[in-house]
Structure 1
Amino acid sequence: MKESSEKLLVGALECCDLPELELFDIQIRVDTGAATSSLHVDNIEEFEEDGKAMVRFDIHPDIHNVDRVVTKTLSLKGRKIVKSSTANTEHRIVIKTKLSLGGRTWPIKLTLTDRSTMQNLMLLGREAMQKHILVDPSQEFLVSEDTK
């Protein structure tokens, strides 16, 4: 059990940073029922640059101010078919970025999608949690403050 004692204990809701995407203090839903992490973005555009698959997308870093938009261009790391909680399947683009949570930072894969009908800009799934965190679903904001 030594490995689990080194993991960060988090609640069902936390705030994190995605510094490479210029997203700071965003509220996330920590969801052990979801395999894949997802981030709400708009205007996803795939293209090729110097023979490399790329993706450009818009992020609204403040869900309360949709006029603020950050456009990012990153390497496309793959595609994934994701089954939603409503049993619909969606083909999503996968990117890789760094997640900072509870004073720790590690790389994660994120699928890009429209989460505009959801309460949280981002959902953190099991693949991103492995080796890093344990979840107490009865708690919220164990390693961060509710700033929303």
Structure 2
Amino acid sequence: MEKLIIGSLESCNLPELSIYDLQIRVDTGAKTSSLHVDNIRRYRQGGKPWVKFDIHPDVYNVNHIVECASRLHDIRTIKSSNGVSEERYVIKTPIQLGQHSWPIEITLTNRSDMNYLMLLGREGMGDKVLVDPSETFILSSEN
């Protein structure tokens, strides 16, 4: 597969979570991808652990809330950029960048002090993308 060239900021879709046109920060310095969510609730469905959470995908309209649910993939201790370790729920869901889609692991956390609701880390990029840090929204301008 030819690698997808992306910028330091992009828009993505998380279709299984009904989240579309979400602006994300692409961060090759971060190992894991993370998503800012509120009201995380753990429950069981079909004998398996699941999580429900809320996201405000439109930073200009905080009244627009999307309630999401996903099977709980893992719980991990993650060290954030400020050096603080915390336990986070991990979900696995497809990400769509441009015309390409693949499953990634995303940790759920409070990123309210960050400018972007989602951070795409190295593991989420895998061997599928090349990052041009001098560009932004490369895939959006192709459409």
| Superposition TM-score, scaled by structure 2 size | 0.94
Q: Distance in 1 between matches of 2:117 and 2:23?
A: 7
1:13-24 aligned within 5 A: 13-24=9-20
Match of residue 127 from structure 1? 123
TM-superposition CA deviations, 1:69-110 (whole Å, max 9, x none): 111121100011111111011110000111110211111111
Q: Distance in 2 between matches of 1:143 and 1:71?
A: 27
Residue 143 (structure 1) aligned to one of 136, 139, 142: 139
1:1-148 aligned within 5 A: 6-145=2-141
Q: What's the CA shift for 1:49?
A: 2.5
Amino acid at match of 1:123: L
SS in 1 for 2:29: coil
Q: List, as ranges, runs of 4+ consecutive aligned residues in structure 1 with deviation greater than 6 Å.
A: none
Percent identity, aligned pairs only, is 55
Q: What's the CA shift for 1:127?
A: 0.4
Q: Distance in 2 between matches of 1:138 and 1:43?
A: 35
TM-superposition CA deviations, 1:26-75 (whole Å, max 9, x none): 11000000000001110001122232111111111211111111111211
**Aligned CA-pair RMSD:** 1.1
| Superposition TM-score, scaled by structure 1 size | 0.91
Aligned pair count reads 141
Amino acid at match of 2:74: G
Q: What's the CA shift for 1:140?
A: 1.2
Amino acid at match of 2:58: D
Gaps of at least 5 residues in structure 2 are: none
